[in-house]
Structure 1
Amino acid sequence: IPEIRENLSSLEEGPVTSSARILDRFFNDYRNEVEAHFEYEEQTVFPYIRGLVHGVHTEGYSIEQFEENHSNIEDKLEDLKNILIKYLPGEVPAEELNRTLFNVFLLEDDLGRHALIEDKVLVPYVMQLEENHG
């Protein structure tokens, strides 16, 4: 995310267009959403799981709540790619745009792996722990 922020900053160093301003605002909102996602995991989900591992079931919370509130940050990353591809090619040097897109694709891959691990490993494991402590 910091590399993409740096890439976008370099794209905006030329004449600031309305596309660049929209892109900047969109990315800042996206970054805040990703940070909130990870903070929620660190502050709520992981302590809950640690408790279950140690035999403590926190009443009033379940991994289902995590799944229900699990924002799909991958969809917004797809929107970012579309904005970059659709609105900026004529406004910025191709090399800078390609570097930015490459970093967005890398982030997309990382987040896809993150979501896959959550959905296929973490959530089923925690559901099993909940059943054992239910």
Structure 2
Amino acid sequence: MSEKSATSEMPKTDDEWRERLSDEEYKVLREQGTEPKYTGEFIDKDDPGTYTCKGCGQKLFTSDTKFTSSGWPSFYDAIEGAVEFERDTSHGMVRTEVHCANCGSHLGHVFDDGPNPTGKRFCINSICLTFEDEA
């Protein structure tokens, strides 16, 4: 699916999002939930390819920026312009929330304790992603 067709078919109402996503996907992508630690399908994936937004198909991260860090897939950088940030003060913490720049879906959080060259750790829910194999 191309980015253009993904955007043109993107849900516009809450009911359309609920039809497109499973209950668990909806809770994370649209209601800022979090999947349980170490349960996501992409934690240990190391195949070459691109991670895209499950909500709209936007390309978000490449496998060459992925690293092992926590109970969720971690990346040290996002594809330029693919994500946006918002201050999150929920759960008694101050964090930086990561959203898809195309559809606004919640993806996870970014922290300043990652590896070089960026020093960032994008801690992303697997349920928010799909994977496009490089082959």
The normalised TM-score by structure 2 is 0.22
> Which has the greater radius of gyration?
1
Higher relative contact order (CA 8 A, sep 6+): 1
In proportion to residue count, which structure has more helix? Answer: 1
In proportion to residue count, which structure has more strand? Answer: 2
The normalised TM-score by structure 1 is 0.22
